[in-house]
Amino acid sequence: MILTTSSGDFPIPAGVASRLPQVPPVPDPTAPQYHKAKRAFSDWLDASPEHAIDFERLRRWHLVQNDLAAAAVAEGRTFVVTEDGLD
């Protein structure tokens, strides 16, 4: 798995990937079947309170990782994806 951040793409270690919530991808507005995918995503999100929690956990994790990656790149350090922001 690869994490895409504003600072580049980074491999997600297996140990981190195994802890990530299983969330379907957010629909791409430029995709040909966007409205259908958007409806399916909304239905998934509404199907269970746990889905909304998982989506928020993954979103927050991604924001933290994006910030950590930017700091590492700015300081000239190698960035390694972590679990920071997941809990």
CB 69 within 8 A of CB 85: no
- Tens digit of each residue's pLDDT (9 = 90 or more) over 50-78: 999 999 999 999 999 999 999 999 999 99
Residue 50 forms part of a structural domain: yes
Residues 6+ apart with CB under 8 A from 86: 19, 20, 57, 60, 61
Residue 20 forms part of a structural domain: yes
* Confidence (pLDDT) at 67: 98
* Confidence (pLDDT) at 26: 95
Which domain, by its residues, includes 51?
2-74
* Confidence (pLDDT) at 87: 83
Angstrom CA distances, 52 to 25, 26, 28, 82, stand at 13, 13, 19, 22
Q: Domain count of the chain?
A: 1
- Tens digit of each residue's pLDDT (9 = 90 or more) over 5-20: 999 999 999 999 999 9
Residue 54 forms part of a structural domain: yes
